[in-house]
Amino acid sequence: MSQTERTREHLIEVYRKKAKHYDISCRLYPAPGYPQRSQRLRAVQALGLRAGDSVIDIACGTGLNFPLIEEAIGPGGRIVGVDLTDAMLARAEDRIDTNGWRNISLVQADAVDFDFPTQVDAILSTYALSQVPECAEVIAHGAAALSEGGRWVVLDLKVPGNTPRYLAQVGTAVVRPFASIDEWITRRPWEAIRAAMKDELADLSWTELFFGTAFLATGSRGHL
């Protein structure tokens, strides 16, 4: 089994175990008091959504972004939630049923293998894409599926710049119970995401959040 396959299997195992209580435990991710909800809201706002837009939520988990997206697109819009783990999607389905949403479909797939529908208005990924070894490929596939002017937004964690290695290791030890981050520091996936978005999209915007522990990257598809 390759390293990529081992990472994928580990992610499935971790999130199957955490799915039932994920909505509660994620409030402690990556640390108690972390402004995750306000960062999610900022990411959705960066999509520049309008009523009737279509949105792909990559690694949607239990659907924590859905209410924020629904408020922007309304019942005439469309959401496709994609996630690797069946248990997480089951919780997302519960959320959909509870809220009576009729414009959300769920797809169980690895982000890198997902067949993006074409001409979508926006793609979002929050706190997940950096765990995908082929994150640059996901950015490229998504960019090709966007309509003209469509936006790709990634919100994720990173190691602050100029952080001593021992402090980075301490910090990721805190995060480890909540996510698969083996070799995360060495891979530095936020750099791959930034480079891919710069290559594939126009007007890249990169903003570091909360003392450099997270980033918000946005870009749009230029003229077709």
Indicate the DSSP class of residue 54.
Answer: E
CATH fold of 3-220: Rossmann fold (3.40.50)
Residues 6+ apart with CB under 8 A from 30: 157, 171, 174, 175, 178, 213
Contact predicate 142/185, CB 8 Å: no
Alpha helices, DSSP H, located in the chain? 3-18, 22-25, 36-46, 66-73, 86-99, 135-145, 165-175, 184-187, 189-200
State the pLDDT at residue 174: 47
Contact predicate 81/92, CB 8 Å: yes
Residues 135-139: contacts with CB under 8 Å, at least 24 apart: 135/189, 135/192, 135/193, 135/196, 136/192, 136/193, 136/195, 136/196, 137/112, 138/58, 138/111, 138/112, 138/114, 139/193, 139/196, 139/197, 139/200, 139/201
d(CA 164, CA 20): 36
Tens place of pLDDT per residue across the chain (224 aa)? 666 666 677 676 777 777 677 777 777 777 778 899 999 999 999 999 999 999 999 999 999 999 999 999 999 999 999 999 999 999 999 999 999 999 999 999 999 999 999 999 999 999 999 989 899 999 999 999 999 999 999 999 998 887 656 555 545 554 554 445 557 777 889 999 999 999 999 999 999 999 888 999 999 998 76
State the pLDDT at residue 12: 66
> How big is the CA angle at 139 (ends 69 and 170), to the nearest 5 degrees?
85
d(CA 44, CA 187): 27
- pTM, two decimals, is 0.88
Which residues pair with residue 55 across a beta bridge? 79, 122
State the pLDDT at residue 170: 47
| CA trace torsion 123, 128, 131, 134 (10° rounding) | -10
Indicate the DSSP class of residue 158.
Answer: -
Encoding tokens for residue 24? 């509660």
State the pLDDT at residue 163: 62
| CA trace torsion 202, 68, 192, 18 (10° rounding) | -170
Domains in the chain: boundaries: 3-220
Contact predicate 121/49, CB 8 Å: yes
Nearest Cα to 66, choosing from 110, 115, 100? Answer: 100
